[in-house]
Amino acid sequence: MAVAVSGLSKTFGTTRALVDVHLSVGWGETLAVLGHNGAGKSTLLRVIASLVRPDAGTVAVGGFERAKDAAAARSIVGYVAHQPLLYDDLTAAENLAFFARLYGVRDARARIAEVLDDLGASAWADRRVRGLSNGMQKRVAIARALLHRPSVLLLDEPETGLDVDGLAMLDRLVRTVTDGGAAVVMTTHGMERGLSLADRIAVLAEGRVALSGRTAEVTPADVRAMLTRQYQVAP
Amino acid sequence: MSTYLRAAMAIYWKDVTVEARTKETVFGVLVFALIVTFIFKFTFDPAPRVVALIGPGIAWVAYIFAGIVGMGRTFVLERDRGTLEALLLAPVPREAIYLGKLAGAFTLMIVVEAAMLPVFVVLHDLSFLSLPFAATAVLATVGLAAVGTLFSAIAVQTRARELLLPLLFLPVTLPVIIAAVSSTSLLLEGGGWREVGEWLRLMLAFDIAFLVLSSWAFESVLEE
């Protein structure tokens, strides 16, 4: 399994962000995680990325257990967060060069040119991130996450800030990554995008997995009904 | 080069590049140090005899207060833009992140200390230029940066970060502050290596202890 999550729970103060979550994603698969704001989607990704320590449960990425071998797990994970996680006063290329050094990317210059080209961001390579639009920053952020050829790509609402071309590029990218054998876990509010891109889907409600299965077995009506029920339950 | 050193140097070089472009922190810290020095000069207007007595204290108070302001920003900038998460995602030892940030804080403080030297000459007729003073400044600054970098990482995760950093930092660094002021006083009185040797050894021991302790504690400080 590329990602195996078992019995995962996490509480922030009195808020139960994740409650006994069990999920798995195979190599070459995409898992779309849906749910309303505060359902626990981002926390789930942050735990898988080893940014947040769970209160209970286990997470294994590429066979590396987060608790035992976090550095090995991190080395095969690429993570795109809500924020671009880039330095404003460095250029796009300088940002990527910095992260290439942290990840020990070989032949970094060629790899940076390659990912910027893949993301349609080559023209901005020498512009400081501060001067880039949100959409441009998002593309560079995705380039940063892909730089070290991760085996597991975590995308937290990646469509935010992207225009129509950017969304098409994102869809192509997810398919290219999974075609190459890597796994993708993405959170999204776009049910249609999630169902069309993913092999598996999970709906989170108040930190629990309310619905999960293969997208071939789950209809949009099932997902819509689950999300609607959450709205009705919410005060 | 090991992963550890490669990562630490990359982080250090990134911090230096960003600061060289923006000059935000170094100018802010320098102005802060100048203001503290001017306040001492124009509020107390000490006689030359008194200056020799309290001058080292004035200098180190200015350096330390300015250092707190500068080190406070070390992680605030990373936290505000989310780049701290990008550092934590990287498969590098946490100690390397600590070392890189420490080296950046050390460089910032040393630059400010060097820039303030002529100010002390002009305002207080105090000249610190000597090799033993350079050793004092380097050892004291390593200790201050070692503690300040760790506590800055702790403080940035709290809402009262501006308040918390000095409250944690000043009591713990008291031995270094006393050693630095005492060593500088002895040098102004005409002392040399022999007179300040004990204070230098104390600072060296403090530096080693806090470099080891802080490196060890850094990982648990950064985990949510």
B208: its two tokens: 């080693």
| Cross-chain Cβ contact A101/B21 below 8 Å | no
In this predicted model, what pLDDT tens digit does every residue of B96-145 receive, in sequence order? 999 999 999 999 999 999 999 888 888 877 777 889 999 999 999 999 99
Q: What is the CA radius of gyration of chain B?
A: 18
Which of the residue ranges A106-115, B6-15, B161-170, B180-189 would you say has the lowest mean pLDDT?
B161-170
Pair B125, A138: CB distance under 8 Å: no
| Cross-chain Cβ contact B90/A74 below 8 Å | yes
Average pLDDT over residues A170-177: 92
Report yes or no: A51 at the B interface, CB cutoff 8 Å: yes
C-alpha B152/C-alpha B159 separation (Å) is 12
Among B38-47, B72-81, B184-193, top mean pLDDT goes to B184-193
In this predicted model, what pLDDT tens digit does every residue of A121-133 receive, in sequence order? 999 999 999 999 9
Q: Is the dihedral of CA B68, B71, B75, B76 positive or negative?
A: positive
Average pLDDT over residues B19-44: 89
Pair A57, A9: CB distance under 8 Å: yes
Confidence of residue A156 (pLDDT cuts 50, 70, 90): very high
Distance from CA of A169 to the nearest CA of B (A): 23
| Helices within chain B (DSSP H only) | 3-22, 24-44, 48-80, 83-89, 94-124, 131-155, 161-188, 193-222
Strands (E), chain A: 3-12, 15-25, 30-34, 56-61, 64-65, 77-80, 152-156, 183-187, 200-205, 208-214
Q: Hey, is A191 helix, strand or coil?
A: helix
Q: Which amino acid is at B62?
A: A
What ipTM goes with this model?
A: 0.88
User: Where is pLDDT greater, at B162 or B106?
Assistant: B106
Determine how many CB atoms are found less than 10 A away from the CB of residue B53.
14
Average pLDDT over residues A138-166: 93
C-alpha A99/C-alpha A117 separation (Å) is 17
Indicate the average pLDDT of chain B.
90
Report yes or no: A64 at the B interface, CB cutoff 8 Å: no
Q: Which amino acid is at B125?
A: D
Domain residue limits, chain B: 3-222
Q: Which residues contact B171 (CB under 8 A, 6 or more apart)?
A: none
Look at residue B100 in the predicted model and tell me its pLDDT.
Answer: 95
Domains and their CATH numbers in chain A: 3-233 (3.40.50.300)
Report yes or no: A167 at the B interface, CB cutoff 8 Å: no
B99: its two tokens: 């070392």
Alpha-carbon distances of B23 from A93, A146, B70, B122, rounded to whole Å: 21, 31, 12, 25
Pair B183, B135: CB distance under 8 Å: no
Q: Which residues contact A196 (CB under 8 A, 6 or more apart)?
A: A171
Nearest chain A residue to B93 by CA distance is: A71
Look at residue A154 in the predicted model and tell me its pLDDT.
Answer: 97
Task: Judge whether residue B52 has pLDDT over 80.
Answer: no
Determine how many CB atoms are found less than 10 A away from the CB of residue B193.
12
Alpha-carbon distances of B120 from A234, B55, B160, B190, rounded to whole Å: 65, 9, 33, 17
Residue of B1, B78, B89 to mutate for A, most A C-beta atoms under 10 A = B89
Q: Hey, is A162 helix, strand or coil?
A: coil
For chains A and B, count residue pairs whose Cβ atoms are closer than 8 Å.
70
| Cross-chain Cβ contact B83/A86 below 8 Å | yes
Look at residue A235 in the predicted model and tell me its pLDDT.
Answer: 43
| Cross-chain Cβ contact B90/A144 below 8 Å | no
Q: Which residues pair with A32 in a beta bridge?
A: A186, A201
Confidence of residue A5 (pLDDT cuts 50, 70, 90): very high
Task: Judge whether residue A71 has pLDDT over 90.
Answer: no
| Cross-chain Cβ contact A85/B14 below 8 Å | no
Which of the residue ranges B37-46, B105-114, B137-146, B162-171 would you say has the lowest mean pLDDT?
B37-46
Report yes or no: B14 at the A interface, CB cutoff 8 Å: yes
In this predicted model, what pLDDT tens digit does every residue of A193-228 receive, in sequence order? 888 889 999 999 989 999 888 988 888 887 887 777
C-alpha B48/C-alpha B32 separation (Å) is 24
Look at residue B79 in the predicted model and tell me its pLDDT.
Answer: 87
Indicate the average pLDDT of chain A.
91
Q: Which residues contact B213 (CB under 8 A, 6 or more apart)?
A: none
| Helices within chain A (DSSP H only) | 41-48, 70-75, 92-103, 108-118, 134-146, 164-179, 191-197, 220-233
Look at residue B1 in the predicted model and tell me its pLDDT.
Answer: 64
B residues 90..129 contacting A (CB < 8 A):
90-93
Task: Judge whether residue A49 has pLDDT over 80.
Answer: yes
| Cross-chain Cβ contact A85/B91 below 8 Å | no
Look at residue A216 in the predicted model and tell me its pLDDT.
Answer: 84
In this predicted model, what pLDDT tens digit does every residue of B64-92 receive, in sequence order? 988 898 888 888 888 888 899 999 999 99
C-alpha B67/C-alpha B60 separation (Å) is 10
Task: Judge whether residue A234 has pLDDT over 50.
Answer: no
Nearest chain A residue to B100 by CA distance is: A102
User: Where is pLDDT greater, at B48 or B93?
Assistant: B93
Report yes or no: A152 at the B interface, CB cutoff 8 Å: no
C-alpha A203/C-alpha B138 separation (Å) is 56
